[in-house]
Amino acid sequence: MLEIKNIHKSFGKNEILKGVDLKIEKGDVVVILGPSGSGKTTLLRCINFLERADEGQAIFGNMDVNLKSASRKQIHQIRQKTAFVFQNYNLFNNKTALENVTEGLIIGRKVPKAEANKIGKLALEKVGLSDKINSYPSQLSGGQQQRVGIARAIALNPDIILFDEPTSALDPELVGEVLTVMKSIAKEGTTMLVVTHEMSFAKDVANKVIFMDGGVIVEEDAPEEIFSRPKEERTQQFLKRVIPEDYIYNI
């Protein structure tokens, strides 16, 4: 459904993405792991044009787009097919939770207000925030804000939802509630591309794990393979550092 070919991106003299290829099928839940600076977030941001790649191609359904020279119209079309969940939630501070969720529908997709509100309320119900629809972000906890962010993404009913370290900015107690929501929408068949450090999510929910380092994909496989039988040295080193010692000795 989505295929990325040979994506390159540099910031000044730093080459962050050194040629990455990626293929995602409908219903996939793909987790990208890797040390910081490996390009995971940049990859995500290039897909929906929050950054402009220096080189590369994206094939989205029947759309074939050059990532460097894409026109405004093409960018807009791709953004219609994707939704983004940010590490820092990025809720619209001057809008209520419901307004946050319906903004993209009403203004971006010209959905009539009544219908948008219906969709929005359903989305907020799905993330467990029906009682907060008229609250402003400043009145919500981090976990609640992120759940609104997820509701905002699912309300758009995109082909794929991109998650950029959705729980990294949360207090540990609040991480669980967000992961629960993500697991439930994954079970419903949502196509997800998730950059995260939450190994439990990768092990329990993902059907494909990608390990990135130094701007390239080092290894990609099913979670069982990656976690118990990593083939590359770099992957093994990373996992050793990230997963508690006793797991490695699990037979």
Partner 1 sequence: MSVGLDYQFLVKTFFIALSGVPTALIITIVSLLIALPLGFLLALSRINQIPVISQLARVYVSFVRGTPVIVQIFIIFTSVPLLLKPVFEEYHVQTNIYDINPIWYAFIVFSLNTTAILIEVFRSAISTVSKGQLEAAYSVGLNNVQAFRRIIIPQTLVVALPNICTATVNLIKATSLGYALSLREITLRAQVAANVGYNYIEAYIDIFIVYLLLCSLVEYLFKLYEKRLRKYKAVGA
* Whole-number Å distance between alpha carbons of 245 and 88: 31
Q: Please, what's the largest Cα pairwise distance for the chain? A: 57
Would you mind telling me the total number of residues written for the chain in this entry? Answer: 251
Tokens 């977030």, residue located:
41
* Whole-number Å distance between alpha carbons of 63 and 241: 40
Cβ proximity to partner 1, 14 vs 138, nearer residue: 138
Cβ proximity to partner 1, 45 vs 208, nearer residue: 45
The minimum distance between CB 108 and partner 1, in angstroms, equals 3
Cβ proximity to partner 1, 39 vs 137, nearer residue: 137
The minimum distance between CB 168 and partner 1, in angstroms, equals 14
The sign one gets for the Cα dihedral 145, 186, 4, 218 is positive
The minimum distance between CB 145 and partner 1, in angstroms, equals 12
The minimum distance between CB 52 and partner 1, in angstroms, equals 12
Tokens 């894409």, residue located:
70
Cβ proximity to partner 1, 83 vs 178, nearer residue: 83
The minimum distance between CB 208 and partner 1, in angstroms, equals 23
* Residues in contact with partner 1 by the rule CB under 8 A: 48-50, 76, 79-80, 82-84, 86, 88, 90-96, 103-104, 107-109, 136-139, 152, 156
Cβ proximity to partner 1, 101 vs 199, nearer residue: 101
Structure tokens at 136: 């402003």
Burial class (CB in 10 A: 0-12, 13-18, 19+), 106: middle
Query: Count of alpha carbons within 13 Å of 110, Cβ hemisphere only?
Result: 0
